[in-house]
Amino acid sequence: MKRLLLAALFVLPFAACGGGGGSSSDVTPNTNAAGTAAMAAAFTKELTTIKQCLQDEVDGKGDCQTSFFSDPVTLMCSDVHLGRASQFAGADYTKFDPTCTAWASVLSVSTAEKVTKIDQMLTDLQAVK
């Protein structure tokens, strides 16, 4: 009886990890649409906030005080590139590779170019939702 209980304790955590994504060929195993949509919405929210901050700077309304190395977009991209679990359980990180690659290029251009690149990233994220 003890062996059966120990076997169940050993097998159950692995069984709980199974399942996940649907049968669609464009879905990475163990992902789900809800997690992906939630992450896309979070990226959209944060990028919109940063874009507005940068646009205000371009328009002469003051300096944008965003810390690009510790803001939520950078942190989400870190999760994407490392494959680290986040609050977006089941998000298909492969769908955010282009966003995070674009984000890396945003860090090295002028403020006006940042606004343009972020605007394109927001357009691209619409397809992910």
pLDDT, tens only, 60-71: 999 999 898 899
**Which pLDDT score, from 0 to 100, does residue 85 have?**
86
Query: What pLDDT, on a 0 to 100 scale, did the predictor assign at position 29?
Result: 63
Q: Rounded to an integer, what distance in angstroms lies between the CA atom of residue 45 and that of residue 49?
A: 6
CA distance 18 to 21: 10
Q: Residue 78 has what DSSP assignment?
A: H
Please give the Cα distance from 108 to 89 (Å, whole number): 31
The pair of structure tokens assigned to 111 is 């403020």
Structure tokens at 14: 């692995």
Q: Tell me the percentage of the chain whose pLDDT exceeds 70.
A: 78
Phi, psi angles (nearest 5°) of residue 29: -55, 145
**Whole-number Å distance between alpha carbons of 35 and 26:** 15
Residues of the chain with pLDDT under 70: 1-29
Residues in the chain: 129
- The pLDDT assigned to 107 comes to 86
**pTM (2 decimals)?**
0.75
- Domain residue spans of the chain: 2-128
